[in-house]
Every structure is written in structure tokens, then in C-alpha cells.
Structure 1
Amino acid sequence: MYNKNEITSLIQHLIDQVATEAAGRLISTVEEHLETKIANALKGHKLLVDSDELAKQLMVSKSTVVKLRKQGLPTIRIGDSVRFDPEAVKQFIINKNKSLHYGDNK
């Protein structure tokens, strides 16, 4: 028969084992996700784009990109360079169009 201290110690040991395994799985999942993102970036799926590339993708002038920045287009600064996350830009445009659309209905 186990006494109370032995049971507590055994339970704590099991909790530690489960926590260690869960942390290992979480780290592994995050690493796999990052590896996939990096692999996609290397295949031509850019994680970030500059103003010229964004203008090209949106089929607008670079001055339009500057105007959008003044209206709150999200940017990422890396040193002196300004970059854009294509997904954040997409969401910004969707939200901007929704606000313009709902503004017309007032």
C-alpha cells in the first residue's frame, strides 16, 4: 500500500511526464508550421512584399500604395525598409470596402 506522500509524488511525476510530452508536441507542431511557411516563401510565396511588389499585385500605382498607407494600410518596418504582409493587406482592403459599402447605405 502507498502512503499519501508516495501517491502525491507519483501523481506529480505523472503530471511532469504529461507536461513534458505536451510541450514537446507543441514545439514540434510550431516548428513544422514555421518550416512550411519558410518552404512556401522559398517557392515564391513571399511572406512580405515591398511597395513596388504590392503596387504590382494590386494593379495600382505606387502613389496609391502611399495613399493607402496614410489611410492605415498595415506595414512592417525592417530597419529603414517598409514591407507589407499580403494577408494583412487583403484584410485591410476587405474592411475598407465594407466600411465604404455600409457608408453608402446610411
Structure 2
Amino acid sequence: MPKNAVSAGQRTEEFRSEGLYGSDAFTLMCNHCSCKVSYERRDTVLKHVKGEKHTSIAESINSAKRKKADIEHLELRTEVFSKANIHLEKLENTDIQN
């Protein structure tokens, strides 16, 4: 008995956290790699997601997001100290001074 066909939408729901999206009912795209991924077989999608190109791009994106969050956090702390009229040189914590 043949298995029911899987749609691009179903694969999209399953792999959304990996950066995949359905551009239409018959196309599965990778947001990280900007390429079309064959969605008919789950194994094919898994191979793409675990592939070197996808993984390295995803890691780069996550790293950039973390750096952006760190910079925003630093800007916020600096603004708070500035509004409180606290000079950074007078803080005892050398990590904050740096």
C-alpha cells in the first residue's frame, strides 16, 4: 500500500526551526542557503539540514545574532551608567571597565 504524499507545507512545519519555508504548495526553500530543497523524502531534507553548507551558514547567523544582542546589552548598560552619572573608570569590576 503506497504512503500518502507529503506536501511542502508539511515539511515546512516540521523543519521551520531549521530555516526552511514553503514558497508555494510545491516548493520548499532554505532561508539560510537560499536554495530549493526537495521535500518529497524526509531523508533528503535531513541531509540538507545536516549538510556542511547549511550548518556553517546557520552557525554564522546565530553567532551574528548573539554578537548583536551583546552589543545592544552593552549599549543599554552604558546608557544606564551615563544617566546615573557613574563614570566607568570608577567601577571596581574590570570587565565592565573594559
TM-score when normalising by structure 1: 0.37
Structure number with the bigger relative contact order (C-alpha 8 A, sep ≥ 6) is 1
Greater helix proportion: 1
Name the one with the larger strand percent. 2
TM-score between the two structures when normalised by the length of structure 2: 0.40
Q: Rg: which structure is higher?
A: 1
